[in-house]
Amino acid sequence: MDARLGRQFLCGFILLISSCAMAGKKVPDWVLNPIPDSGSYMYGVAEGKSLNSATQSALESVAGRLLTSISSDHRERVSANNDKVDTQTDIDIRSQVGNTQISGYEVDKTKKSRKTYYVRVKVDKYKLLESNKSALESALTDLDEYLSPGKAISVLKVFKKRRKLERKIKEASQKSMVVQALTDANHIAKYTAKINQYQQTMNQLMGKMVIYIEASRDLAPLARKLIQELSVEDVRATTTQPDFNSPIVRLNGSFTRGERFGQKYVNANTAIDVYDEFGNPLSSKQLIVDGQAYLSHESAITSAINKTVNQMSEEGVTRSLGLN
């Protein structure tokens, strides 16, 4: 057998094996010809190496159609206003809806062909709508506790809960988009207005977040050091009283001085009291500020303050002061 005949034989053998493999892998008709969505149900079909992965891919296809519906509606509304479509908004929509948990579904059909699993899921639109609407209203209730426009809201309390509130705003936005995809934009107008109001209120409060650190004379250097560390943690603070009500951290204490075996010792039993901008006490703790040096008591005080700041920085100054 010459080289050319050998190559032809090899190619024919490969084609034969491939044909056998394709013949053994039978794709179900309901995958090749997907059933269209109806007024009550959405369908998703997919394949995977396991039943679970195929099911997840099928659910992702349903989420993808929700995404397409929202993006299209968004573009139509923007076009109607003769405005430019914001690419970042489209990205945000994809990020929001892409993480949607699809509920109210059942695995409608399954088939295993060789090592491949095929799945069709059937999503009940009403159950999906109700679950997302319920989650949306729950998130708005949680946000209302801290960000309701009619309440005297403590900026420090909001600051302490800011991460939770940011998650809730994101969750509410995500759920409202799914509700919109299953109904229409007019249906969620009141929810969108609330979400925007909560976000605006939170932005305004965080913009006013300036901590006034009031320190006794001996602890004034400590206060200045803490301001520097808080800045690293993206928290604004000052030793000058603002011309508006602001949260207060009071550092009260004075150094006792001593000397032993040629070393200078200092010690300050310090009280740290935190108040919101309305003067309500929020937390109180005791802190020992102590240090030693050979040169002078002033050097010992510098050493004590540096040691204290380093210890607080390890935990996080915001947390150490009771602000977080």
Range in 17-26, 35-44, 83-92, 280-289 the model is least confident about: 83-92
Distance, in Å, from the CA atom of 51 to the CA atom of 56, rounded to the nearest integer, reads 9
Average pLDDT over residues 270-289: 91
| Residues 94 and 137 grouped into a single domain | no
pLDDT given at position 251: 95
**What's at 72, amino acid-wise?**
S
Quick check: 298 pLDDT over 70?
A: yes
Q: Please check whether residue 74 lies inside any domain of the structure.
A: yes
pLDDT given at position 70: 67
Among the residues of 161-219, which ranges form H helices? 162-182, 189-207
| Residues 199 and 139 grouped into a single domain | yes
pLDDT band at 65; cut points 50, 70, 90? confident
Please check whether residue 90 is in contact with residue 74, taking contact to mean a CB–CB distance below 8 angstroms: yes
**pTM for this one?**
0.71
pLDDT band at 212; cut points 50, 70, 90? very high
Please check whether residue 133 is in contact with residue 179, taking contact to mean a CB–CB distance below 8 angstroms: yes
Average pLDDT over residues 253-279: 91
pLDDT band at 17; cut points 50, 70, 90? very low
What share of the chain in percent tops pLDDT 90? 51
**Angle at the Cα of 203 from the Cα atoms of 200 and 205, rounded to 5 degrees:** 110
Distance, in Å, from the CA atom of 59 to the CA atom of 46, rounded to the nearest integer, reads 9
Instruction: Give the residue among 129, 136, 127 at the shortest CA–CA distance from 190.
Output: 136
Instruction: Give the residue among 125, 108, 116 at the shortest CA–CA distance from 40.
Output: 125
pLDDT band at 82; cut points 50, 70, 90? very low
Residue ending a domain, among 207, 240, 267, is 207
Quick check: 267 pLDDT over 60?
A: yes
- In the predicted model, what is the mean pLDDT of the chain? 83
pLDDT given at position 187: 78
Q: Please check whether residue 3 lies inside any domain of the structure.
A: no
pLDDT given at position 79: 38
Average pLDDT over residues 62-83: 57
Quick check: 89 pLDDT over 80?
A: no
Residue with tokens 């969505």: 37
Range of the domain at 155: 127-207
| Residues 203 and 230 grouped into a single domain | no
pLDDT given at position 150: 77
Distance, in Å, from the CA atom of 248 to the CA atom of 280, rounded to the nearest integer, reads 10
Distance, in Å, from the CA atom of 49 to the CA atom of 197, rounded to the nearest integer, reads 46
CATH number for 243: 3.30.160.150
Q: Where is pLDDT greater, at 67 or 225?
A: 225
| Residues 86 and 120 grouped into a single domain | yes
Average pLDDT over residues 193-216: 92
Residue ending a domain, among 97, 125, 153, is 125
Average pLDDT over residues 262-291: 91
Quick check: 77 pLDDT over 50?
A: no
CATH number for 63: 3.10.28.20
Quick check: 88 pLDDT over 50?
A: no
Distance, in Å, from the CA atom of 126 to the CA atom of 105, rounded to the nearest integer, reads 11
Provide the domain count of the chain. 3
| Residues 36 and 119 grouped into a single domain | yes
Tally the C-alpha atoms within 13 A of residue 260's C-alpha that lie toward its C-beta: 6
Q: Please check whether residue 193 lies inside any domain of the structure.
A: yes
Q: Please check whether residue 14 lies inside any domain of the structure.
A: no
Quick check: 87 pLDDT over 50?
A: no
Average pLDDT over residues 181-204: 88
Q: Give per-residue pLDDT as tens, 213-222.
A: 999 999 999 9
pLDDT band at 78; cut points 50, 70, 90? very low
Average pLDDT over residues 152-163: 88
